[in-house]
Amino acid sequence: MKKNSLAPETLAAQALRHIDEATGSVVPPMLATSTFARDENYDLREGYIYSRYAGPTTTHAEEIIAALEGSDDSLLFNSGMSASVAVVEALPPQAHVVAQGMMYHVGLQWLDRQAARGVISLDHFPAGDLDALADQIQPGKTKLVWIETPANGDWSITDIAAAAELAHAAGAILMVDSTAAPPCTQKPLDLGADISFHSATKYMGGHSDFTAGVLSARTDLHIWDEIRNVRSFQGTILPAFEAWLLIRSLRTLHIRYAACSSNAMAFAKHFAAHRDIETVLYPGLPTHPSHHVAANQMHNGFGGMMSILINGKDNRAFEMAKKTELFIPATSLGGVESLIEHRRTVAGPDSGIPDNLLRISIGIEHIDDLIADFEQALGATAHLG
Ligand SMILES: *Cc1c(COP(=O)(O)O)cnc(C)c1O
């Protein structure tokens, strides 16, 4: 069977039909080495020189992700942050960058610092607002538009195809942080984006046992070689063991994401109608302000991420995050276990996150247990209602 006739689920489940030639091992081997011996002619055997540049296990994981993203190439990094930072470092000096005002808060902090140091110039726009984005883009000067959809905080949605048009008309490239929507549901490159970016720590990894980041693009992207150079200089490539865990994880990406999505939809519907809840911010709900845009660009579920605004006194949400028994009070997202977070405490008072917001990452546990636990936490804080 030809690989290119196979569905992404099939390619991922069988790690691109890999069977080890020598041993028949169904699981790809992990090759952990820092350096590669040359052959008798002093030539490189398979192009590998030194593990700060590339290694076979990491390359294998990159090939799987490229197949899922529909990209020419993918580059894995040792965290989502090191991946996204490499894009900005590959831009020409003094580049103008436009980024959302609300997105993953550490990415935002890093951009603000680069701007404060004069390395880039930076403007923000409210997530999802294409008119405001158009106003911030400076033709000929803007080099990078950075969007995140669905976006951390309120899970607002930006129309990727429309943002790509705006960026391209001004001579800029579009990077989409698609962490909350892995390629089994959203493929930014197909919608015109230049770079698809994921914190692979989240859904791609899915088991909360390592950090990773990945960029995918067409190889004719003018800064692609420079991004690879940045990774080689900085040594931010994903090491073999984590790449091996990631290959393991990608085998089940489609079913994990489907399970998180159906659990989250049931959870969101249950609590959207609850008298103790002000709003459930979940792009899968028809009441979400940009549900139609989400439905247009997320083809296989809306994922497990939502924010829930709690009715009652200011500190009720914070108290609830301490009262859940099943939801684990930890940051991060996209794992098989459900997490709860009082986001304002984590992202800081300048983040614009309301005090009554709980960020929830729904996992693959039984939906009845998840609903019962959240009900129980609402009950335990009823005196603050
Ligand atoms: C976690 C996250 C990042 C950063 O990734 P790390 O792997 O933690 O470095 C970037 N964007 C989004 C949307 C995230 O959730």
Query: Which CATH number belongs to the domain containing residue 42 in this structure?
Result: 3.40.640.10
Q: What is the pLDDT of residue 74?
A: 98
Distance 134 CA to ligand 1 centre (A): 26
To test the ligand 1 pocket, which listed residue (82, 104, 242, 351) has its Cβ within 8 A of the most ligand atoms? 104
Distance 333 CA to ligand 1 centre (A): 9
Amino acid at 291: H
Residues with catalytic roles:
52, 104, 177, 202
Q: Return the half-sphere exposure (C-beta side, CA atoms, 13 A cut-off) of residue 359.
A: 22
Q: What is the mean pLDDT of residues 151-178?
A: 97
Same domain, 122 and 68: yes
Tell whether the torsion through CA atoms of 87, 152, 199 and 322 is positive or negative: positive
Q: How confident is the model at residue 3 (pLDDT cuts 50, 70, 90)?
A: low
- Is the confidence at residue 1, as pLDDT, over 60? no
Distance 33 CA to ligand 1 centre (A): 27
DSSP tag of 196: E
Confirm if 219 and 72 have CB atoms less than 8 A apart.
Answer: yes
Distance 37 CA to ligand 1 centre (A): 36
Q: Write the pLDDT tens digit of every residue in 21-80.
A: 889 999 999 999 999 999 999 999 999 999 999 999 999 999 999 999 999 999 999 999
Helix/strand/coil percent split, the chain, to 5: 40, 15, 45
DSSP tag of 34: S
Distance 122 CA to ligand 1 centre (A): 20
Same domain, 174 and 74: yes
Q: Write the pLDDT tens digit of every residue in 211-258.
A: 999 999 999 999 999 999 999 999 999 999 999 999 999 999 999 999
Same domain, 314 and 290: yes
Q: What is the mean pLDDT of residues 333-359?
A: 93
Same domain, 149 and 258: no
Confirm if 231 and 237 have CB atoms less than 8 A apart.
Answer: yes
User: Residue of the nearest CA to atom 8 in ligand 1?
Assistant: 80
Same domain, 362 and 239: no
**Phi (first) and psi of residue 38, to 5 degrees:** -80, 165
Q: Write the pLDDT tens digit of every residue in 294-315.
A: 999 999 999 999 999 999 999 9
The DSSP bridge partners found for residue 74 are 216
Q: How confident is the model at residue 19 (pLDDT cuts 50, 70, 90)?
A: confident
Q: What is the pLDDT of residue 105?
A: 92
User: Residue of the nearest CA to atom 1 in ligand 1?
Assistant: 199
Q: What is the pLDDT of residue 2?
A: 60
Kindly state the helix (H) or strand (E) to which residue 341 belongs, with its residue range.
strand 339-342
User: Residue of the nearest CA to atom 12 in ligand 1?
Assistant: 104
Tell whether the torsion through CA atoms of 361, 362, 363 and 365 is positive or negative: positive
What average pLDDT does the structure give for the chain? 96
Q: Write the pLDDT tens digit of every residue in 250-293.
A: 999 999 999 999 999 999 999 999 999 999 999 999 999 999 99
Same domain, 240 and 265: no
Tokens found for residue 327? 């939801």
Q: What is the mean pLDDT of residues 368-381?
A: 98
Same domain, 225 and 319: no
Tokens found for residue 183? 């390629």
Spell out which residues line ligand 1, taking CB within 6 angstroms.
79-81, 104, 107, 148, 152, 177, 179, 199, 201-202, 211, 213, 333
Domain count, the chain: 2
SS3 237: strand
Q: What is the mean pLDDT of residues 332-350?
A: 94
To test the ligand 1 pocket, which listed residue (199, 203, 351) has its Cβ within 8 A of the most ligand atoms? 199
Confirm if 248 and 57 have CB atoms less than 8 A apart.
Answer: no
Same domain, 373 and 269: yes
Same domain, 85 and 199: yes
Percentage of the chain exceeding pLDDT 70? 99
> Which domain, by its residues, includes 303?
254-384
To test the ligand 1 pocket, which listed residue (201, 209, 245, 246) has its Cβ within 8 A of the most ligand atoms? 201
Q: What is the pLDDT of residue 348?
A: 86
Same domain, 78 and 140: yes
Q: Write the pLDDT tens digit of every residue in 171-193.
A: 999 999 999 999 999 999 999 99
User: Residue of the nearest CA to atom 5 in ligand 1?
Assistant: 80
Residue 295 CB neighbours (<10 A): 15
Query: Which CATH number belongs to the domain containing residue 264 in this structure?
Result: 3.90.1150.10
Given 250, 271, 294, which residue is the final one in a domain? 250
